[in-house]
Amino acid sequence: MENASKALLMAAGVLIGILTLSLAVYLFVSFGTTSAEIYKKNEENQLNEFNTKFTSYVGRNDLTIHDVISVANLATENNIFYELPKTTATGKDNYISVHLKGKGSIEFGYQEGRKSSDINSQYNEYIKDDIIKNQTLPQYKCTVEISPTTKRVFRVEFE
């Protein structure tokens, strides 16, 4: 009888051990899935926040050359951060191009040795030309293209 009770106690101990391990595995998988979901949500929020910097200009009728230069500056900072040379934006990488009607592409890409003061001088020239040419600040309309590949803004156009 004593052997039978010891056998039952051993079986109960093994069963409790298996239940404990099963619970640990379940919690590990559950927490791992939750962590992945939170990471994905954070990534989506960062992407939306980034795109909003450009899409906030869409549909507005009060845009001036200063707004155009602000967007071009944001695009230039992005292109320099990712060290992307000036190219035609196709939406396959993180390069952002900004186009101004009559001027073409006005953003800058990564170029070794280029100073930010040179870029700012060029943007100031765009502002000066716009004011001299038109005597008043004309209003611009903005359109934005978002890449189906990267889900990021890759082209901003002002007309």
pLDDT single digits (tens) 23-63:
999 998 888 888 889 999 999 999 999 999 999 999 998 99
Please state, in angstroms and rounded to a whole number, the distance separating the CA atoms of residues 140 and 68: 8
Planar angle of CA 154, 156, 159, nearest 5 degrees? 160
In the predicted model, is pLDDT for residue 141 greater than 90? yes
pTM score: 0.77
Average pLDDT over residues 90-112: 88
pLDDT band at residue 135 under the 50/70/90 scheme: confident
DSSP one-letter code for 145: E
Using alpha carbons, select from 65, 51, 68 the residue that is nearest to residue 152: 51
State the chain's mean pLDDT as an integer.
90
Cα–Cα distance between 141 and 60 in angstroms, integer? 7
Residue 88 has pLDDT above 90, yes or no: no
> What is the maximum span of the chain, computed from C-alpha positions, in angstroms?
107
